[in-house]
Amino acid sequence: MAISGVLRPGYVQLRVLDMKEALQHYRDRIGLDVVATGDDGRVYLKTYDEFDHHSIILRPADDAGMDYLGFKVASEDVLDGFRDKLIRAGLEVIDVPAGEQPRLGRRVAFIAPTGHRIELYATIERADNSPMTTNPDLWHAEPRGMKPIRFDHCLIYGDDIDGAAEVFTDILGFSLTEQVLTPDGTKVAIFLSCSTKAHDIALVRFEGKNKLHHCSFLLESWNDIGHAADIMTRYNMSVDIGPTRHGITRGQTIYFFDPSGNRNEVFCGGYAFYPDNPVRTWHTEEVGKAIFYYERALNDRFMTVVT
């Protein structure tokens, strides 16, 4: 299928309490490359296999969490079309000029009904160390740390996930791939895709707005998940749960925390999604198996700790 409109998640800006500790975590332990540091203290990073200049932005702050999540769209004309649709839907649009982040073009931002700031953009320059394209080797230099392939998705928590779902599906063209329903049919979790992935963003119903559950990085294989677990144990990193597997999306996973308390995930696998696929539905009485397929039970920390 030809992907048009929204192409994929592009970047996330995270607030961190101590930049030295954060860099040790994201650069040395996870294995991201630092590509730029701004005059305002923000640090820009990417994985070894991403073409774009950056995908992770770390901003020094007094509280942890997510400032915004950006999605790349197919062209500047598509960006203008989405801007018009968002305005017609009654959403406040924020225009961010090119250059507010290094080598990134103009952005169109809006506040989702869950309180999260979502950004759209079409233009970003390639990183100097982007993957080879002519007779390409696998990488320029051996991947470090947990060897992430890409920044993959975020799970966000907020109150009005129904309103957010309408924005993502009706305006931005995402598809609902999977959901968790209460006995009365209330959606408590939704998984949305703009591509052939099982999800590009996920939302869970939560009292309050604008909370981050986790940002996730794709690894190549189950063996790499095990290698990531070895790193977490060697350096006494704070682990939430795993290695394990999801019933939802079928991904193999570990959840862990950065030094500021932001939850990260490394995962691999998961099913391929196509727009003609039916929605997969889980009921809340099976939510333990849905989230942690092997354990078939949730831990309280996973459901309640957000930033």
Choosing from 50, 119, 178, 265, the catalytic residue is: 265
pLDDT digits 0-9 by tens, 210-243: 999 999 999 999 999 999 999 999 999 999 999 9
Give the domain extent around 161: 150-304
- Could you tell me if 63 and 185 lie in one domain? no
Computed on alpha carbons and rounded to an integer, the radius of gyration of the chain in Å comes to: 18
Clarify whether 246 is annotated catalytic: yes
Look at residue 145 and tell me if it is in a domain. no
Look at residue 155 and tell me if it is in a domain. yes
- Could you tell me if 220 and 290 lie in one domain? yes
CB within 8 Å of 100: residues ≥ 6 apart = 107
Look at residue 37 and tell me if it is in a domain. yes
- Could you tell me if 163 and 284 lie in one domain? yes
pLDDT value at residue 2: 63
Choosing from 25, 53, 54, 153, the catalytic residue is: 153
Clarify whether 283 is annotated catalytic: no
- Could you tell me if 84 and 176 lie in one domain? no
Please state the domain count of the chain: 2
Q: Tokens at residue 260, please?
A: 């500021």
SS3 95: strand
Last residue of a domain, which of 101, 121, 141? Answer: 121
What region does 107 belong to: left with phi over 0, alpha with psi -120 to 50, or beta? beta
SS3 26: helix
Clarify whether 255 is annotated catalytic: yes
pLDDT digits 0-9 by tens, 80-95: 999 999 999 999 999 9
Percent of the chain at pLDDT > 70 equals 99
Which residue shows structure tokens 């790349």? 72
Clarify whether 153 is annotated catalytic: yes
* CA–CA dist 178, 143 (Å, integer): 33
* CA–CA dist 102, 124 (Å, integer): 9
In order along its 307 residues, the chain shows pLDDT tens digits of 468 899 999 999 999 999 999 999 999 999 999 999 999 999 999 999 999 999 999 999 999 999 999 999 999 999 999 999 999 999 999 999 999 999 999 999 999 999 999 999 999 999 999 999 999 999 999 999 999 999 999 999 999 999 999 999 999 999 999 999 999 999 999 999 999 999 999 999 999 999 999 999 999 999 999 999 999 999 999 999 999 999 999 999 999 999 999 999 999 999 999 999 999 999 999 999 999 999 999 888 888 899 9
Identify the CATH number of the domain in which residue 251 sits: 3.10.180.10
pLDDT digits 0-9 by tens, 38-50: 999 999 999 999 9
- Could you tell me if 107 and 240 lie in one domain? no
Which residue shows structure tokens 């969490």? 65
Cβ distance 265 to 19 under 8 Å?
A: no
* CA–CA dist 107, 110 (Å, integer): 10
Looking at every residue in the chain, the average pLDDT score rounds to 96
- Could you tell me if 108 and 209 lie in one domain? no
